[in-house]
Amino acid sequence: MSKIPIKSEQDLEAMRRTCQLTAAILDAVGEIIEPGINTEEINSFIHKMTLDNGAQPSTLNYKGFTRSCCTSVNDVVCHGIPSQYVILKEGDIINIDVTSYREGFHGDSSRMFLVGGEQACSKEALELVKITKQALFAGIEAVRPGAKVGDIGAAIHDFIKDTGKGYGIVREYTGHGVGREFHEPPQVVHIAKRGSGDLLKPGMTFTIEPMINIGTHKTVLSQIDGWTVRTADGSLSAQWEHTVAVRDGGCEILTTSPKGLF
C-alpha cells in the first residue's frame, strides 16, 4: 500500500490557490455553454484562461491525452476528448473536468452543465444531475480524521441506494489523491465497505468524483481513441467532483466556487 502524502499548512495554502483557479475557470466556462458551441471551443477557452493565470493544464499531454480538459456529453461517463465535431445541442448534459497546475500543486474539479438550461433538459436528466451532486456531498460529509477511505464510498452507495432509482455507480473510475502529483494515493472508490481502506489523517488531499449512470454501472472504453468511456447501455451519466483536504475539524473543500455556484 503506497504512502499517502501529508500536506503542510504551507502546502495547503498553495494548493488552495490552485484549486480556486480551477473553480474560477469552471465558473467562467458556465457562461459560455450554449447550444451550437463545440467542445474544442470549450477546450480552447479553458486552455487560454489557465495559461493567462500563470498555470498549466494538468491533462495536456498526460499519458498522451491531447487536450486541456475533459468534456463528457450525455452517455460519456468520463475522459471525453474535446472536438470540433462534438457540437452541443439543447437538452444535452455535459461534464467538464478541469485540473490546473500552479505553485507546485494540482487542483482538480468537474461540474455538470445543462445545455439550454433546465427547461431544455429531460426530467430524468435533471434528476440524475441533481442526485449525483447530492451523492458527492454525501461522500464529502464522511471525510474526517479517524474515518476510513471506504467510508466515503459507503456513504455514496448508501445515498444512491436510498433514492430507490436503481442508478448504477461506476466502479472502474475513481477519486484519487492529488497534490504535487496529478494522481497520488489513496484511491477513492465510490462504492465501498464502511470501515475499509486507509485511515484518514489531517493534511491528506484527494478528489471525490462519483460517476452515476441512469442504467447499468458497466462502462465501455473506446477502442478508437483509448480514452472516451461510455455507459455500456447508452444511458445518461453524470459526475461532480471536488478536491478536498482532511482537516482537524473535518473536511475542507478546496475547489469551492468563488461565486458560490458549487
**Tens digits of residue pLDDT in 217-259:** 999 999 999 999 999 999 999 999 999 999 998 999 999 999 9
CATH node for 9-253: 3.90.230.10
**Tens digits of residue pLDDT in 189-218:** 999 999 999 999 999 999 999 999 999 999
The SS3 of residue 42 is helix
Q: Given this model, what pLDDT does residue 139 score? A: 99
Mean pLDDT of 137-164: 98
Instruction: Please give the model's pTM, rounded to 2 decimal places.
Output: 0.97
Q: Given this model, what pLDDT does residue 2 score? A: 73
Mean pLDDT of 108-118: 99
Q: Given this model, what pLDDT does residue 1 score? A: 55
Q: Given this model, what pLDDT does residue 214 score? A: 98
Mean pLDDT of 89-115: 99
The Cα 73–Cα 78 span in angstroms is 9
Q: Given the DSSP bridges, would you call strands 76-78 and 229-231 parallel, antiparallel or unpaired?
A: antiparallel
User: Which of 206, 200, 212, 216 has the alpha carbon at shortest distance from 157?
Assistant: 212
**Residue 202, C-beta contacts closer than 8 angstroms, at least 6 positions apart:** 6, 145, 246, 247, 248
